[in-house]
Amino acid sequence: MPDRSNSAWRIRTFFHGEGGGVLRPLVKTSLIGLLFASGCGSVSKGSSTEDASNIGFVLYTMGDSAGTLNARWMYTTAYSGPGVATGGPAEGFAGQYHIRYFYENGEFSDEYDLVIQKTGNLYDVSWLVDGKVRAVGVGMEVDKGLAVGWHKVAD
């Protein structure tokens, strides 16, 4: 019996249902459409975040070198930009990386230890600083990438 109090289980069940992935194609198409329709997440850095939700999205694609990922990320409607993860496995998305994120203007944003774990067809993702989890997310593979919805964890 699954742990129904687990947020990752609730998200998986919402998107896939307990009996199968009936919503997966719709969600996959919506996430890709949202990302590319918005210019790959180009959002102005100057937007107000006082009333913003604690929700982010990132699309990881394989980098040119083995063990690297390229990222396009956005947080609420206020921040977005590219990122680069290094130190990962030679193949696939699951593994441990070190990632650096930047704003659209090239200014440094944040860096984390990134842990991506595959669970069935989905991925559990964690961003850590000094061994402490700072954000968690759930993702799924899309054409040539890994789409992840995430949120920051309260201190």
What are the sequence ranges of the domains in the chain?
Answer: 54-152
H or E segment and range at residue 15: helix 7-16
Taking the C-alpha atoms of residue 149 and residue 67, their distance in angstroms, rounded to an integer, is 22
Q: For the chain, give the number of residues.
A: 155
* Separation between Cα atoms, residue 117 and residue 25, nearest integer Å: 22
| Structure confidence by residue, pLDDT tens digits, 72-116 | 999 998 999 999 999 999 999 999 999 999 999 999 999 999 999
Tokens of 108: 């440094």
Does pTM top 0.85 for this prediction? no
SS3 63: coil
Express each pLDDT in 47-66 by its tens digit: 444 446 899 999 999 999 99
